[in-house]
Amino acid sequence: MRSLSASKTTASSPAFTLPATLLSDGFSLRPETDADVPFLMALFASTREEEFAQVPWPPEQKSAFLAMQFNAQRTHYRTYMPDADWIVVQHQGSPIGRIYLHWTPDAVDLVDIALTPAFRGRGLGTTILTALLALADSVGRPICLFVERFNPAFRLYGRLGFVEFAEGDVYLEMKREPGGGVS
């Protein structure tokens, strides 16, 4: 089984691997590179399509705003979590998603997970998250994440055993304790 950790793998940062079923179906992981930025920008924009469909701006203004938000997010992540794992999900060698993991001494922060529209709603995200949950369970760490209440993944996280433990202006913070199980 191929394993990957974009940062140095240590006792506090075990390598994340895809399940054998995904590997045999042509899925793989690799570290993100600067050459991925155009793909990552398009992926980011695709996660905001529904929200921005209702904004009465011309396409150029929407694109400029999304580019600004993408760059701000990317800068923030790399400033405050420079040692995180920046992972690109591939299918048959082509990028189709991203997973950002930040291992702390006390938890695994699922900073971001996103798939291109063609790969959403097909169980791939659930399979990837289940593998990540198993890895976190194996090292006895909870997984924490932030999610907007209207995000379709919110329901998935609940089914996977995540519970809300803090609420902000925009995001809910959710946590799944080790061995939290799937309901």
Helix (H, G, I), strand (E, B) or coil at 84: coil
Q: Per-residue confidence at 95, pLDDT binned at 50, 70, 90?
A: very high
For residue 98, the surrounding DSSP H or E stretch is strand 94-103
pTM of this prediction exceeds 0.85: yes
Three-class secondary structure of residue 16 per DSSP:
strand
> Would you say residue 182 has pLDDT above 90?
no
pLDDT at residue 5 is higher than 90: no
> Hey, what CATH class is 3-176 in?
alpha beta
pLDDT tens digits, residue range 16-59? 999 999 999 999 999 999 999 999 999 999 998 888 888 899 99
- Asked if residue 117 has pLDDT above 90, the reply is yes
Q: Which three-class secondary structure state does DSSP give residue 132?
A: helix
User: Rounded to an integer, what distance in angstroms lies between the CA atom of residue 114 and that of residue 128?
Assistant: 11
Model confidence band, residue 13 (pLDDT cutoffs 50, 70, 90): low
Q: Which residues contact 120 (CB under 8 A, 6 or more apart)?
A: none
Q: At residue 183, does pLDDT exceed 50?
A: no
| Domain boundary assignment for the chain | 3-176
How far, in Å, CA of 52 to CA of 47, rounded? 10
